[in-house]
Chains A and B, each alone.
Chain A
Amino acid sequence: MSQAATALTGRALKTKLRVEGIDMVFNRDGKTTSVLENINLDVADGEFLCILGPSGCGKSTLLNAIAGFLAPTGGRVTIDGEAVTGPDPRRIFVFQERGVFPWLTVEGNIGFGLFKVSREERERRIAHYIKLVGLQGFEKTYPQELSGGMKQRLEVARALAVNPDMLLLDEPFGALDSITRLIMRSELLRIWEAEKKTIIFVTHDIEEAVQLSDRVVVMSARPARIQQIVEIDIPHPRDISSPRYLELRDGIFEQIGLAHKV
Protein backbone atom coordinates (compact mmCIF):
# COMPACT_ATOMS: atom_id res chain seq x y z
CA MET A 1 0.00 0.00 0.00
CA SER A 2 2.82 2.39 0.84
CA GLN A 3 4.40 1.51 -2.47
CA ALA A 4 1.24 2.54 -4.25
CA ALA A 5 1.12 5.84 -2.35
CA THR A 6 4.68 6.70 -3.23
CA ALA A 7 4.13 5.88 -6.84
CA LEU A 8 0.98 7.93 -6.77
CA THR A 9 2.25 11.16 -5.31
CA GLY A 10 5.79 10.88 -6.56
CA ARG A 11 6.79 13.77 -4.34
CA ALA A 12 6.25 12.25 -0.93
CA LEU A 13 9.83 11.55 -0.06
CA LYS A 14 11.56 14.31 1.86
CA THR A 15 10.30 14.78 5.43
CA LYS A 16 8.95 18.27 5.89
CA LEU A 17 7.45 18.13 9.33
CA ARG A 18 8.27 15.89 12.23
CA VAL A 19 6.14 15.69 15.35
CA GLU A 20 8.06 13.86 18.08
CA GLY A 21 6.28 12.60 21.17
CA ILE A 22 4.07 15.61 21.72
CA ASP A 23 2.10 15.82 24.95
CA MET A 24 -0.24 18.65 25.82
CA VAL A 25 -1.64 19.13 29.29
CA PHE A 26 -3.84 22.11 30.15
CA ASN A 27 -4.35 23.48 33.63
CA ARG A 28 -7.72 25.07 34.02
CA ASP A 29 -9.34 26.02 37.33
CA GLY A 30 -6.96 23.73 39.19
CA LYS A 31 -7.89 20.77 37.02
CA THR A 32 -5.38 19.25 34.68
CA THR A 33 -6.63 17.92 31.39
CA SER A 34 -4.51 15.85 29.12
CA VAL A 35 -5.38 16.80 25.56
CA LEU A 36 -2.64 15.20 23.48
CA GLU A 37 -0.69 12.08 24.37
CA ASN A 38 2.52 11.02 22.71
CA ILE A 39 1.78 12.13 19.16
CA ASN A 40 4.39 11.02 16.62
CA LEU A 41 4.00 11.97 13.01
CA ASP A 42 6.11 12.57 9.91
CA VAL A 43 4.74 14.60 7.04
CA ALA A 44 6.43 14.55 3.66
CA ASP A 45 7.18 17.63 1.60
CA GLY A 46 4.22 18.39 -0.63
CA GLU A 47 1.94 15.95 1.11
CA PHE A 48 -1.75 16.57 1.72
CA LEU A 49 -2.44 15.22 5.19
CA CYS A 50 -5.78 15.17 6.97
CA ILE A 51 -6.09 14.98 10.72
CA LEU A 52 -9.45 13.44 11.47
CA GLY A 53 -11.13 13.12 14.82
CA PRO A 54 -14.27 13.81 16.80
CA SER A 55 -15.06 17.37 17.87
CA GLY A 56 -13.05 18.53 20.84
CA CYS A 57 -10.55 15.68 20.65
CA GLY A 58 -7.55 17.97 20.45
CA LYS A 59 -6.81 17.92 16.75
CA SER A 60 -6.96 21.73 16.62
CA THR A 61 -4.58 21.83 19.58
CA LEU A 62 -2.15 19.68 17.60
CA LEU A 63 -2.44 22.03 14.64
CA ASN A 64 -1.84 25.04 16.91
CA ALA A 65 1.29 23.36 18.27
CA ILE A 66 2.53 22.74 14.72
CA ALA A 67 1.83 26.39 13.89
CA GLY A 68 3.80 27.52 16.94
CA PHE A 69 0.86 29.23 18.66
CA LEU A 70 0.98 26.75 21.54
CA ALA A 71 4.08 25.29 23.14
CA PRO A 72 3.60 21.57 23.79
CA THR A 73 4.04 20.34 27.36
CA GLY A 74 6.35 17.58 26.15
CA GLY A 75 8.03 16.52 22.92
CA ARG A 76 8.87 18.76 19.99
CA VAL A 77 7.90 19.80 16.50
CA THR A 78 10.51 20.31 13.82
CA ILE A 79 10.10 21.65 10.33
CA ASP A 80 12.97 20.99 7.93
CA GLY A 81 14.90 19.83 10.99
CA GLU A 82 14.42 23.17 12.71
CA ALA A 83 12.51 23.30 16.02
CA VAL A 84 9.26 25.28 16.01
CA THR A 85 9.32 27.98 18.69
CA GLY A 86 6.65 30.37 17.46
CA PRO A 87 4.50 31.34 14.51
CA ASP A 88 6.32 31.85 11.23
CA PRO A 89 5.21 33.13 7.81
CA ARG A 90 6.63 29.94 6.28
CA ARG A 91 3.60 28.10 7.63
CA ILE A 92 0.29 29.91 7.58
CA PHE A 93 -2.70 28.96 9.64
CA VAL A 94 -6.12 29.22 8.01
CA PHE A 95 -9.00 29.59 10.45
CA GLN A 96 -12.43 28.05 10.32
CA GLU A 97 -14.19 31.30 9.51
CA ARG A 98 -13.92 35.04 9.88
CA GLY A 99 -10.16 34.85 9.86
CA VAL A 100 -10.00 37.49 7.12
CA PHE A 101 -9.62 41.08 8.28
CA PRO A 102 -12.98 42.83 7.88
CA TRP A 103 -11.40 46.30 7.79
CA LEU A 104 -9.40 45.50 4.66
CA THR A 105 -10.59 44.97 1.09
CA VAL A 106 -9.93 41.75 -0.80
CA GLU A 107 -6.73 43.32 -2.14
CA GLY A 108 -5.76 44.60 1.28
CA ASN A 109 -6.21 41.18 2.83
CA ILE A 110 -4.18 39.38 0.20
CA GLY A 111 -1.45 42.00 0.42
CA PHE A 112 -1.46 41.98 4.22
CA GLY A 113 1.57 39.75 4.72
CA LEU A 114 3.52 41.32 1.86
CA PHE A 115 5.02 44.26 3.74
CA LYS A 116 8.58 43.17 3.05
CA VAL A 117 8.38 42.87 -0.73
CA SER A 118 8.56 45.65 -3.30
CA ARG A 119 5.41 47.37 -4.48
CA GLU A 120 5.54 45.83 -7.96
CA GLU A 121 6.03 42.35 -6.55
CA ARG A 122 3.21 42.94 -4.10
CA GLU A 123 0.82 44.00 -6.83
CA ARG A 124 1.87 41.12 -9.01
CA ARG A 125 1.21 38.60 -6.27
CA ILE A 126 -2.12 40.15 -5.32
CA ALA A 127 -3.27 39.94 -8.92
CA HIS A 128 -1.98 36.37 -9.24
CA TYR A 129 -3.77 35.08 -6.15
CA ILE A 130 -6.98 36.95 -6.81
CA LYS A 131 -7.06 35.10 -10.10
CA LEU A 132 -6.07 31.77 -8.56
CA VAL A 133 -8.96 31.79 -6.11
CA GLY A 134 -11.39 33.32 -8.60
CA LEU A 135 -12.08 36.65 -6.92
CA GLN A 136 -11.56 38.84 -9.99
CA GLY A 137 -13.88 41.83 -9.93
CA PHE A 138 -13.94 41.87 -6.11
CA GLU A 139 -10.56 43.55 -5.58
CA LYS A 140 -12.04 46.56 -3.78
CA THR A 141 -14.78 44.63 -1.98
CA TYR A 142 -14.89 44.31 1.80
CA PRO A 143 -15.31 40.82 3.31
CA GLN A 144 -18.75 41.53 4.75
CA GLU A 145 -20.05 41.80 1.20
CA LEU A 146 -18.63 38.37 0.27
CA SER A 147 -20.25 34.97 0.73
CA GLY A 148 -18.83 32.44 3.18
CA GLY A 149 -17.09 30.47 0.44
CA MET A 150 -15.55 33.61 -1.03
CA LYS A 151 -14.24 34.65 2.39
CA GLN A 152 -12.64 31.26 2.84
CA ARG A 153 -11.01 31.46 -0.61
CA LEU A 154 -9.81 34.93 0.31
CA GLU A 155 -8.17 33.61 3.44
CA VAL A 156 -6.45 30.86 1.48
CA ALA A 157 -5.24 33.48 -1.01
CA ARG A 158 -3.94 35.67 1.82
CA ALA A 159 -2.04 32.66 3.15
CA LEU A 160 -0.60 31.65 -0.23
CA ALA A 161 0.47 35.19 -1.13
CA VAL A 162 3.38 35.09 1.34
CA ASN A 163 4.59 31.93 -0.38
CA PRO A 164 4.63 29.62 2.64
CA ASP A 165 5.89 26.03 2.53
CA MET A 166 2.94 24.78 4.50
CA LEU A 167 -0.72 25.57 4.93
CA LEU A 168 -2.35 24.58 8.19
CA LEU A 169 -6.10 24.50 7.75
CA ASP A 170 -8.32 24.20 10.80
CA GLU A 171 -11.71 22.89 9.64
CA PRO A 172 -11.65 25.56 6.95
CA PHE A 173 -14.94 24.56 5.35
CA GLY A 174 -16.78 23.70 8.55
CA ALA A 175 -19.01 26.74 8.44
CA LEU A 176 -20.00 26.41 4.79
CA ASP A 177 -23.10 24.79 3.36
CA SER A 178 -22.60 21.33 1.87
CA ILE A 179 -22.70 22.40 -1.79
CA THR A 180 -20.17 25.18 -1.28
CA ARG A 181 -18.06 22.76 0.73
CA LEU A 182 -17.87 20.34 -2.21
CA ILE A 183 -16.85 23.14 -4.56
CA MET A 184 -14.24 24.36 -2.09
CA ARG A 185 -12.70 20.90 -1.83
CA SER A 186 -12.02 20.68 -5.54
CA GLU A 187 -10.81 24.28 -5.52
CA LEU A 188 -8.35 23.46 -2.76
CA LEU A 189 -7.10 20.40 -4.63
CA ARG A 190 -6.65 22.50 -7.76
CA ILE A 191 -4.67 25.08 -5.78
CA TRP A 192 -2.61 22.35 -4.11
CA GLU A 193 -1.71 20.90 -7.51
CA ALA A 194 -0.78 24.37 -8.79
CA GLU A 195 1.18 25.56 -5.77
CA LYS A 196 2.80 22.34 -4.46
CA LYS A 197 2.45 23.18 -0.79
CA THR A 198 2.46 20.81 2.14
CA ILE A 199 -1.07 20.90 3.52
CA ILE A 200 -2.24 19.78 6.93
CA PHE A 201 -5.99 19.83 7.05
CA VAL A 202 -7.95 19.28 10.25
CA THR A 203 -11.48 18.00 9.86
CA HIS A 204 -14.16 15.93 11.57
CA ASP A 205 -15.67 14.98 8.23
CA ILE A 206 -14.62 11.49 7.12
CA GLU A 207 -15.73 11.96 3.53
CA GLU A 208 -13.82 15.20 3.31
CA ALA A 209 -10.66 13.54 4.60
CA VAL A 210 -10.88 10.62 2.18
CA GLN A 211 -11.69 12.86 -0.78
CA LEU A 212 -8.80 15.22 -0.20
CA SER A 213 -5.76 13.70 1.36
CA ASP A 214 -2.81 11.44 0.67
CA ARG A 215 -3.03 10.12 4.20
CA VAL A 216 -5.65 10.38 6.93
CA VAL A 217 -4.50 10.49 10.54
CA VAL A 218 -7.34 9.14 12.66
CA MET A 219 -7.31 10.52 16.21
CA SER A 220 -8.96 8.98 19.24
CA ALA A 221 -11.22 10.86 21.65
CA ARG A 222 -9.53 12.91 24.36
CA PRO A 223 -6.78 12.53 25.37
CA ALA A 224 -6.04 12.31 21.67
CA ARG A 225 -3.69 9.65 20.42
CA ILE A 226 -3.07 8.57 16.86
CA GLN A 227 -5.33 5.63 16.34
CA GLN A 228 -4.40 4.80 12.79
CA ILE A 229 -2.89 6.35 9.70
CA VAL A 230 -4.70 5.46 6.48
CA GLU A 231 -3.10 5.92 3.08
CA ILE A 232 -5.56 6.99 0.41
CA ASP A 233 -4.11 5.42 -2.73
CA ILE A 234 -6.62 6.77 -5.22
CA PRO A 235 -5.43 9.23 -7.87
CA HIS A 236 -7.13 12.60 -8.26
CA PRO A 237 -9.75 13.37 -9.45
CA ARG A 238 -11.25 10.77 -7.17
CA ASP A 239 -14.32 8.80 -8.07
CA ILE A 240 -16.26 8.91 -4.84
CA SER A 241 -18.42 5.94 -5.78
CA SER A 242 -15.50 3.68 -6.67
CA PRO A 243 -15.14 0.49 -4.60
CA ARG A 244 -11.72 1.55 -3.30
CA TYR A 245 -13.04 4.90 -2.10
CA LEU A 246 -15.95 3.24 -0.30
CA GLU A 247 -13.66 0.62 1.18
CA LEU A 248 -11.29 3.23 2.62
CA ARG A 249 -14.13 5.41 3.84
CA ASP A 250 -15.94 2.56 5.52
CA GLY A 251 -12.69 1.36 7.04
CA ILE A 252 -12.34 4.71 8.80
CA PHE A 253 -15.98 4.68 9.84
CA GLU A 254 -15.36 1.36 11.50
CA GLN A 255 -12.10 2.52 12.98
CA ILE A 256 -13.93 5.37 14.67
CA GLY A 257 -16.56 2.93 15.84
CA LEU A 258 -19.44 4.14 13.77
CA ALA A 259 -21.54 1.77 11.77
CA HIS A 260 -22.40 3.48 8.49
CA LYS A 261 -26.08 3.64 9.16
CA VAL A 262 -28.29 6.52 10.11
Chain B
Amino acid sequence: MSSSLVQPRKWEKFAWPLLTASVFLLFWYYAVRYSGSKIFPSPGDVWRGMLELARRGVLSGYITDSLRRVAFGYGTAVVLGIPFGLTLGWYPALSRVVNPVIQMMRPISPIAWIPLAIIWFGVGDSAAMYLIFLGAFFPIVVASANGVRNVPSMFRRAGRNFGLAPTQLLAKVVFPAALPQIIMGLRIALGIAWLVVVAAEMVAVDSGLGYLVIDARNSGKRYDLVVAAMLLIGGIGLALDIGFRRLEKVKSIRWGFRYEA
Protein backbone atom coordinates (compact mmCIF):
# COMPACT_ATOMS: atom_id res chain seq x y z
CA MET B 1 0.00 0.00 0.00
CA SER B 2 2.76 2.40 0.92
CA SER B 3 4.41 1.74 -2.43
CA SER B 4 1.89 4.02 -4.15
CA LEU B 5 3.14 6.96 -2.12
CA VAL B 6 6.88 6.45 -2.03
CA GLN B 7 9.29 5.88 -4.89
CA PRO B 8 8.62 2.50 -6.48
CA ARG B 9 11.25 -0.11 -5.72
CA LYS B 10 13.54 -1.14 -8.52
CA TRP B 11 11.91 -4.51 -9.11
CA GLU B 12 8.46 -2.94 -9.05
CA LYS B 13 9.30 -0.69 -11.98
CA PHE B 14 9.52 -3.74 -14.21
CA ALA B 15 7.43 -6.30 -12.40
CA TRP B 16 4.10 -4.51 -12.56
CA PRO B 17 4.16 -3.61 -16.26
CA LEU B 18 5.31 -7.18 -17.00
CA LEU B 19 2.42 -8.56 -14.98
CA THR B 20 -0.06 -6.37 -16.88
CA ALA B 21 1.41 -7.51 -20.20
CA SER B 22 1.16 -11.17 -19.17
CA VAL B 23 -2.46 -10.79 -18.10
CA PHE B 24 -3.21 -9.09 -21.39
CA LEU B 25 -1.53 -11.89 -23.39
CA LEU B 26 -3.35 -14.57 -21.41
CA PHE B 27 -6.68 -12.85 -21.94
CA TRP B 28 -5.92 -12.54 -25.65
CA TYR B 29 -4.90 -16.19 -25.90
CA TYR B 30 -8.01 -17.51 -24.19
CA ALA B 31 -10.34 -15.09 -25.97
CA VAL B 32 -9.14 -16.36 -29.34
CA ARG B 33 -9.23 -19.96 -28.18
CA TYR B 34 -12.72 -19.97 -26.67
CA SER B 35 -14.33 -17.86 -29.35
CA GLY B 36 -12.95 -20.33 -31.92
CA SER B 37 -12.11 -17.41 -34.22
CA LYS B 38 -10.71 -18.45 -37.57
CA ILE B 39 -9.65 -14.90 -38.45
CA PHE B 40 -8.19 -13.32 -35.35
CA PRO B 41 -4.71 -14.67 -34.65
CA SER B 42 -3.51 -15.92 -31.26
CA PRO B 43 -0.36 -14.51 -29.63
CA GLY B 44 1.52 -17.56 -30.88
CA ASP B 45 0.38 -16.98 -34.48
CA VAL B 46 1.51 -13.38 -34.27
CA TRP B 47 4.89 -14.35 -32.85
CA ARG B 48 5.39 -16.88 -35.68
CA GLY B 49 4.29 -14.21 -38.18
CA MET B 50 6.86 -11.85 -36.82
CA LEU B 51 9.59 -14.46 -37.13
CA GLU B 52 8.49 -15.13 -40.69
CA LEU B 53 8.78 -11.45 -41.56
CA ALA B 54 12.21 -11.31 -39.99
CA ARG B 55 13.27 -14.40 -41.94
CA ARG B 56 12.03 -12.93 -45.23
CA GLY B 57 14.23 -9.95 -44.45
CA VAL B 58 11.51 -7.33 -44.89
CA LEU B 59 11.04 -6.43 -41.25
CA SER B 60 14.15 -4.36 -40.62
CA GLY B 61 13.72 -2.69 -44.02
CA TYR B 62 10.14 -1.72 -43.25
CA ILE B 63 11.04 -0.41 -39.81
CA THR B 64 13.89 1.72 -41.12
CA ASP B 65 11.71 3.01 -43.97
CA SER B 66 9.05 4.16 -41.52
CA LEU B 67 11.60 5.68 -39.18
CA ARG B 68 13.37 7.41 -42.05
CA ARG B 69 10.15 9.04 -43.24
CA VAL B 70 9.38 10.21 -39.73
CA ALA B 71 12.92 11.51 -39.32
CA PHE B 72 12.65 13.62 -42.49
CA GLY B 73 9.09 14.83 -42.08
CA TYR B 74 9.39 15.47 -38.36
CA GLY B 75 12.90 16.88 -38.71
CA THR B 76 11.70 19.42 -41.25
CA ALA B 77 8.78 20.35 -39.00
CA VAL B 78 11.20 20.93 -36.09
CA VAL B 79 13.64 22.97 -38.17
CA LEU B 80 10.92 25.21 -39.63
CA GLY B 81 8.38 25.10 -36.81
CA ILE B 82 10.53 26.27 -33.89
CA PRO B 83 11.85 29.46 -35.55
CA PHE B 84 8.39 30.21 -36.94
CA GLY B 85 6.75 29.71 -33.55
CA LEU B 86 9.42 31.78 -31.78
CA THR B 87 8.86 34.59 -34.29
CA LEU B 88 5.10 34.51 -33.73
CA GLY B 89 5.56 34.58 -29.97
CA TRP B 90 8.07 37.39 -30.21
CA TYR B 91 5.91 39.63 -32.44
CA PRO B 92 2.35 39.56 -31.08
CA ALA B 93 1.19 41.78 -33.96
CA LEU B 94 2.39 39.23 -36.53
CA SER B 95 0.76 36.50 -34.50
CA ARG B 96 -2.60 38.25 -34.65
CA VAL B 97 -2.32 38.35 -38.43
CA VAL B 98 -1.20 34.75 -38.94
CA ASN B 99 -3.03 33.04 -36.11
CA PRO B 100 -6.46 32.66 -37.76
CA VAL B 101 -4.92 30.71 -40.62
CA ILE B 102 -2.91 28.51 -38.28
CA GLN B 103 -5.88 27.81 -36.10
CA MET B 104 -7.89 26.79 -39.15
CA MET B 105 -5.20 24.58 -40.63
CA ARG B 106 -4.43 22.91 -37.34
CA PRO B 107 -7.60 20.81 -36.92
CA ILE B 108 -7.41 19.46 -40.48
CA SER B 109 -6.23 15.87 -40.15
CA PRO B 110 -3.11 15.21 -42.22
CA ILE B 111 -5.04 12.27 -43.67
CA ALA B 112 -7.38 14.72 -45.39
CA TRP B 113 -4.32 16.04 -47.22
CA ILE B 114 -3.55 12.67 -48.82
CA PRO B 115 -5.21 13.37 -52.19
CA LEU B 116 -3.46 16.72 -52.55
CA ALA B 117 -0.17 15.30 -51.34
CA ILE B 118 -0.32 12.64 -54.05
CA ILE B 119 -1.12 15.21 -56.74
CA TRP B 120 1.78 17.40 -55.63
CA PHE B 121 4.40 14.80 -54.81
CA GLY B 122 3.18 11.67 -56.61
CA VAL B 123 3.00 8.29 -54.96
CA GLY B 124 6.23 7.98 -53.00
CA ASP B 125 8.36 8.98 -50.08
CA SER B 126 7.94 12.74 -50.46
CA ALA B 127 4.15 12.56 -50.20
CA ALA B 128 4.42 10.54 -46.97
CA MET B 129 7.03 12.88 -45.54
CA TYR B 130 4.92 15.88 -46.44
CA LEU B 131 1.97 14.44 -44.52
CA ILE B 132 4.16 13.75 -41.49
CA PHE B 133 5.53 17.26 -41.73
CA LEU B 134 2.01 18.69 -41.72
CA GLY B 135 1.00 16.64 -38.72
CA ALA B 136 4.02 17.70 -36.67
CA PHE B 137 4.45 21.29 -37.85
CA PHE B 138 1.42 22.97 -36.26
CA PRO B 139 1.77 21.57 -32.72
CA ILE B 140 5.42 22.65 -32.76
CA VAL B 141 4.57 26.17 -33.96
CA VAL B 142 1.82 26.60 -31.40
CA ALA B 143 3.92 25.26 -28.52
CA SER B 144 6.88 27.48 -29.44
CA ALA B 145 4.72 30.60 -29.80
CA ASN B 146 2.94 29.96 -26.51
CA GLY B 147 6.25 29.15 -24.86
CA VAL B 148 7.58 32.58 -25.77
CA ARG B 149 4.39 34.35 -24.77
CA ASN B 150 4.37 32.65 -21.37
CA VAL B 151 7.90 33.68 -20.44
CA PRO B 152 7.47 35.65 -17.18
CA SER B 153 8.04 39.35 -17.83
CA MET B 154 10.41 39.29 -14.87
CA PHE B 155 12.91 37.22 -16.88
CA ARG B 156 12.72 39.60 -19.83
CA ARG B 157 13.18 42.57 -17.54
CA ALA B 158 16.16 40.95 -15.86
CA GLY B 159 17.67 40.25 -19.28
CA ARG B 160 17.16 43.82 -20.45
CA ASN B 161 18.52 45.13 -17.15
CA PHE B 162 21.84 43.42 -17.85
CA GLY B 163 22.03 45.25 -21.17
CA LEU B 164 21.07 42.48 -23.60
CA ALA B 165 20.17 43.51 -27.13
CA PRO B 166 16.90 42.06 -28.46
CA THR B 167 18.53 39.15 -30.31
CA GLN B 168 20.61 38.29 -27.27
CA LEU B 169 17.51 38.49 -25.13
CA LEU B 170 15.80 36.00 -27.42
CA ALA B 171 18.75 33.61 -27.42
CA LYS B 172 19.79 33.86 -23.77
CA VAL B 173 16.52 34.42 -21.95
CA VAL B 174 13.38 33.87 -23.98
CA PHE B 175 14.41 30.67 -25.73
CA PRO B 176 15.72 28.84 -22.65
CA ALA B 177 12.74 30.04 -20.64
CA ALA B 178 10.34 28.74 -23.29
CA LEU B 179 12.26 25.51 -23.86
CA PRO B 180 10.29 23.24 -21.49
CA GLN B 181 7.07 24.18 -23.27
CA ILE B 182 8.69 23.74 -26.67
CA ILE B 183 9.93 20.29 -25.65
CA MET B 184 6.42 19.33 -24.61
CA GLY B 185 5.16 20.40 -28.04
CA LEU B 186 7.94 18.43 -29.74
CA ARG B 187 6.96 15.33 -27.83
CA ILE B 188 3.31 15.63 -28.80
CA ALA B 189 4.33 16.27 -32.40
CA LEU B 190 6.51 13.15 -32.47
CA GLY B 191 3.54 11.08 -31.33
CA ILE B 192 1.43 12.57 -34.11
CA ALA B 193 4.19 11.98 -36.67
CA TRP B 194 4.27 8.33 -35.74
CA LEU B 195 0.49 8.09 -36.12
CA VAL B 196 0.58 9.79 -39.50
CA VAL B 197 3.39 7.69 -40.97
CA VAL B 198 1.25 4.58 -40.70
CA ALA B 199 -1.71 6.20 -42.43
CA ALA B 200 0.51 7.72 -45.12
CA GLU B 201 2.21 4.40 -45.85
CA MET B 202 -1.13 2.71 -46.41
CA VAL B 203 -1.80 4.81 -49.48
CA ALA B 204 1.26 6.61 -50.68
CA VAL B 205 4.10 4.07 -50.68
CA ASP B 206 4.87 0.36 -50.86
CA SER B 207 7.12 -0.14 -47.88
CA GLY B 208 7.07 0.57 -44.17
CA LEU B 209 4.97 -0.65 -41.27
CA GLY B 210 1.78 1.01 -42.48
CA TYR B 211 2.21 -0.64 -45.84
CA LEU B 212 2.81 -3.96 -44.06
CA VAL B 213 -0.57 -3.69 -42.32
CA ILE B 214 -2.51 -3.03 -45.51
CA ASP B 215 -0.45 -5.42 -47.65
CA ALA B 216 -0.83 -8.33 -45.22
CA ARG B 217 -4.56 -7.93 -45.37
CA ASN B 218 -4.84 -7.43 -49.13
CA SER B 219 -2.53 -10.25 -50.18
CA GLY B 220 -3.97 -13.29 -48.49
CA LYS B 221 -5.75 -11.94 -45.43
CA ARG B 222 -2.74 -12.57 -43.20
CA TYR B 223 -4.17 -11.18 -39.99
CA ASP B 224 -1.30 -12.64 -37.99
CA LEU B 225 0.97 -10.25 -39.91
CA VAL B 226 -1.50 -7.37 -39.51
CA VAL B 227 -1.44 -7.72 -35.73
CA ALA B 228 2.33 -8.26 -35.73
CA ALA B 229 2.75 -4.98 -37.59
CA MET B 230 0.37 -3.25 -35.18
CA LEU B 231 2.36 -4.46 -32.19
CA LEU B 232 5.58 -3.27 -33.78
CA ILE B 233 4.06 0.16 -34.41
CA GLY B 234 2.97 0.36 -30.79
CA GLY B 235 6.33 -0.82 -29.46
CA ILE B 236 8.35 1.61 -31.55
CA GLY B 237 6.00 4.46 -30.66
CA LEU B 238 6.51 3.68 -26.99
CA ALA B 239 10.29 3.54 -27.45
CA LEU B 240 10.30 6.94 -29.19
CA ASP B 241 8.29 8.48 -26.38
CA ILE B 242 10.50 7.00 -23.68
CA GLY B 243 13.53 8.30 -25.53
CA PHE B 244 11.99 11.73 -25.66
CA ARG B 245 11.12 11.80 -21.99
CA ARG B 246 14.80 11.49 -21.19
CA LEU B 247 15.19 14.98 -22.64
CA GLU B 248 12.84 16.34 -20.01
CA LYS B 249 15.27 15.17 -17.35
CA VAL B 250 18.11 17.35 -18.63
CA LYS B 251 18.90 19.69 -15.76
CA SER B 252 18.62 22.95 -17.67
CA ILE B 253 15.14 21.90 -18.82
CA ARG B 254 13.53 19.92 -16.07
CA TRP B 255 12.73 22.95 -13.90
CA GLY B 256 9.81 23.48 -16.26
CA PHE B 257 8.25 20.08 -15.62
CA ARG B 258 5.97 19.77 -12.69
CA TYR B 259 6.79 16.27 -11.54
CA GLU B 260 10.29 17.47 -10.77
CA ALA B 261 9.12 20.23 -8.45
Contacts and interface: CB of A to CB of B under 8 A. Distances in A.
B partners with A = yes
Contacts of A142: 251-252, 255
Interface in B206-257: 251-253, 255-256
A221 B163 CA distance: 34
B163 A113 contact: yes
Contacts of A116: 163
Nearest to B179: A103
B162 to A, nearest CB: 4
A87 interface: yes
A69 B160 CA distance: 9
Is chain A's interface secondary structure helix, strand, loop, or mixed overall?
A: loop
Contacts of B157: 69, 87, 93
A88 B163 contact: yes
B124 interface: no
Contact of B255 (A88, A93, A143, A162): A143
Contacts, number: 54
B173 A101 contact: yes
Contact of A112 (B162, B179, B261): B162
Given A95-B154, A142-B255, A144-B260, A101 B176 contact: yes
Size band of the interface chain A makes with B: 20 to 34
A93 B161 contact: yes
B44 to A, nearest CB: 50
A87 B161 contact: yes
Contacts of B252: 103-104, 142
A89 interface: yes
A196 to B, nearest CB: 21
Contact of A67 (B161, B163, B256, B261): B161
B151 to A, nearest CB: 11
B176 A95 contact: no
Given A88-B163, A89-B163, A99 B158 contact: yes
Interface in A95-127: 95, 98-99, 101-104, 112-113, 115-116
Contacts of A143: 255
A104 B172 CA distance: 10
A232 interface: no
The listed residue with most A CB atoms (<10 A of its CB), out of B158, B172, B179, is B158
B113 interface: no
B183 to A, nearest CB: 12
18 contacts: A87-B161, A87-B163, A88-B163, A92-B161, A93-B157, A95-B154, A98-B154, A99-B155, A101-B155, A101-B176, A102-B255, A103-B253, A104-B252, A112-B162, A112-B172, A113-B162, A113-B163, A144-B261
